């Protein structure tokens, strides 16, 4: 009898029948472990998607590419392998701690300022469970939200009153909406900035309902420009710090106190969006043109807004300080309720502000300590780390060199300030620098480093001392072929 070769169509159908069912997959031991992590329903969903993918591959697979070894077990194993991979991949998209070896201290994508030990403890010990968020222990009644944070802000900045919201973008919207929605806000054309992505001053003005009145030019705005623009419709004069760019050369802007004198003579409120939240001077690292919040208050700004997680070194927050009557008006607008900060943030902010009030911020707050590291100290630390790395690795091909590098403040602050540093430049002949950097990112905890000129640069400025051992183990492990 002559055997008719099965048609291609029949072969595919036969192969498809060998694919396991979702139920069969969920009954495996490997699946039961995954079910404990993600639930049966979720795993069934992942399994269906994996089977769909495999079915499509089997259909499109031509005979030549096909090894003919599609036994049931092989397909089941392959499906389970893919399911486990997909479950792991979705877990990786969760929030994870990383080691920041980029040298960018306030790295916006990596969460800006790392919290101090006391801020971390305050969250865990005092705020994670029930706490006195809006509760007065003495009376047993509802209390004010975050009175201690406001007290500290008043003490540190010299302002009459303070209010904390979600971030500085929210603070700016809130101030404009509460104080100027029924009128005009004057701003210099040199300050119509974009602070990253969606935060553009002209859009924010529109959103807040205030009519923006531009004065001066990109590089020069005089006091008389503001003076001529003030009318009975003017509610605010806004001064916005151009955080992430600088205009250099033939430039002018009136000093804050000149502007304050003008505003107060004409019955107009002066609002400053200061951005970074510098609470005490850091001229030692060349930080000379960031507004110092206590100085802004002293020089006559009526309301000042700034971030909690830039140069203040705390959690994401928007802080508003200024005249008591104005802060009270802002507090009473419904938008304040929508933008308020939560208890974890308030706990971390309280501990961070205590360090500022004690005068120990520059040693206690990680971001400030990192920014203050001298070039010499950075070289000593990098050299010691390189020695430890050479001693720890059995990988003779790993090339380790110490080079001069520049770290940056980041967070859209002080773009011209460069922090001379040392970095380890790593090279391995078995992989490209991009591959090496990817291997470091895939390590647990992930290590984020930069690539430059075919080398991986590991800058220790934003790596805490307690992370050094993990970093060392990560570099050793990922550089093994």
Ligand X SMILES: *Cc1c(COP(=O)(O)O)cnc(C)c1O
**Smaller CB separation from ligand X, 312 or 456:** 312
**Smaller CB separation from ligand X, 254 or 291:** 291
Q: Which residues bind ligand X (CB under 6 A)?
A: 167-169, 172, 195, 199, 240-241, 243, 273, 275-276, 307, 318, 412
Q: How far apart are CA 397 and CA 104, in angstroms?
A: 28
CA neighbours within 13 Å on the CB side: how many for 148? 16
**Smaller CB separation from ligand X, 31 or 240:** 240
Q: How far apart are CA 332 and CA 262, in angstroms?
A: 28
Task: Provide CB contacts within 8 A for 137, sequence distance 6+.
Answer: none
**Smaller CB separation from ligand X, 173 or 368:** 173
* Residue 105: closest CA among 340, 335, 276, 270: 276
Note the helical H segments in 246-360.
Answer: 256-265, 293-298, 324-332, 334-338, 343-358
Cα separation values, 405 from 102, 380, 415, 457, 469, Å = 10, 14, 16, 9, 22
**Smaller CB separation from ligand X, 99 or 173:** 173
**Smaller CB separation from ligand X, 169 or 471:** 169
Q: Rounded to the nearest whole angstrom, what is the least distance from the CB of residue 463 to ligand X in the complex? A: 24
**Smaller CB separation from ligand X, 273 or 364:** 273
* Residue 275: closest CA among 180, 372, 369, 410: 410
**Smaller CB separation from ligand X, 171 or 426:** 171
DSSP notation for 154-187: HHHH--SEEEEES-HHHHHHHHHHHHHTTSEEEE
The residue number with the shortest CB distance to ligand X is: 275
* Residue 246: closest CA among 473, 443, 417: 417
Q: Rounded to the nearest whole angstrom, what is the least distance from the CB of residue 190 to ligand X in the complex? A: 13
Q: Rounded to the nearest whole angstrom, what is the least distance from the CB of residue 320 to ligand X in the complex? A: 12
Is residue 327 exposed (0-12), middle (13-18) or buried (19+ Cβ within 10 Å)?
buried
Q: Rounded to the nearest whole angstrom, what is the least distance from the CB of residue 55 to ligand X in the complex? A: 47
- Whether 213 and 266 have beta carbons less than 8 Å apart is answered as no
* Residue 205: closest CA among 242, 172, 239, 164: 172
φ, ψ of residue 20 to 5 degrees: the values are: -70, 160
Q: Rounded to the nearest whole angstrom, what is the least distance from the CB of residue 232 to ligand X in the complex? A: 28
Pairing between β-strand 447-448 and β-strand 99-100 as defined by DSSP bridges: parallel
């Amino acid at each position: 009898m002559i055997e008719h070769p099965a048609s291609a169509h029949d072969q595919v159908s036969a192969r498809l029948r060998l694919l396991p069912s979702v139920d069969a997959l969920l009954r495996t031991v490997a699946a039961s472990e995954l079910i404990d992590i993600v639930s049966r329903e979720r795993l069934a969903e992942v399994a269906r998607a994996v089977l769909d993918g495999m079915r499509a591959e089997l259909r499109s697979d031509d005979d030549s590419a096909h090894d003919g070894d599609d036994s049931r077990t092989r397909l089941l194993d392959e499906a389970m392998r893919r399911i486990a991979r997909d479950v792991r991949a979705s877990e990786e998209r969760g929030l994870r701690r990383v080691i920041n070896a980029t040298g960018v201290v306030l790295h916006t994508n990596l969460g800006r300022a790392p919290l101090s030990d006391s801020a971390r403890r305050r969250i865990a010990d005092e705020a994670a469970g029930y706490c006195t968020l809006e509760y007065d222990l003495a009376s047993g009644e509802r209390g004010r939200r975050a009175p201690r944070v406001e007290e500290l802000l008043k003490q540190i900045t010299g302002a009459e009153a303070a209010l904390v919201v979600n971030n500085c973008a929210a603070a700016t919207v809130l101030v404009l909406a509460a104080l100027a929605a029924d009128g005009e806000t004057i701003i210099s054309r040199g300050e119509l900035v974009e602070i990253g992505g969606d935060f553009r001053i002209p859009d924010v003005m529109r959103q807040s309902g205030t009519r923006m009145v531009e004065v001066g030019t990109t590089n020069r705005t005089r006091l008389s420009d503001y003076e001529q623009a003030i009318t009975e419709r003017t509610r605010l004069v806004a001064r916005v710090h151009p955080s992430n760019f600088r205009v250099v050369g033939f430039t002018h802007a009136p000093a804050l106190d000149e502007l304050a004198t003008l505003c107060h003579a004409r019955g107009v409120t002066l609002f400053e969006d200061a951005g970074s939240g510098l609470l005490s001077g850091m001229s030692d690292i060349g930080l000379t043109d960031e507004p110092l919040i206590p100085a802004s208050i002293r020089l006559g700004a009526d309301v000042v807004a700034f971030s909690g997680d830039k140069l203040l070194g705390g959690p994401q927050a928007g802080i508003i300080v200024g005249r008591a009557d104005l802060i009270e008006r802002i507090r009473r607008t419904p938008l304040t309720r929508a933008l308020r900060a939560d208890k974890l943030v308030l706990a971390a902010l309280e501990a961070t502000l205590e360090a500022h009030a004690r005068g120990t911020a520059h040693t206690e707050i990680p971001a400030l300590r990192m920014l203050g590291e001298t070039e010499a100290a950075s070289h000593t630390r990098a050299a010691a780390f390189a020695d430890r790395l050479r001693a720890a690795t059995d990988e003779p091909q790993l090339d380790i060199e110490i080079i001069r590098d520049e770290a940056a403040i980041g967070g859209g602050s002080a773009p011209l300030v460069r922090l001379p540093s040392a970095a380890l430049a790593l090279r391995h002949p078995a992989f490209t620098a991009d591959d090496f950097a990817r291997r470091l990112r895939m390590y647990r905890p992930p290590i984020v480093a930069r690539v430059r000129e075919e080398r991986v640069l590991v800058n220790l400025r934003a790596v805490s001392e307690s992370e050094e051992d993990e970093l060392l183990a990560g570099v050793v492990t990922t550089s093994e072929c």
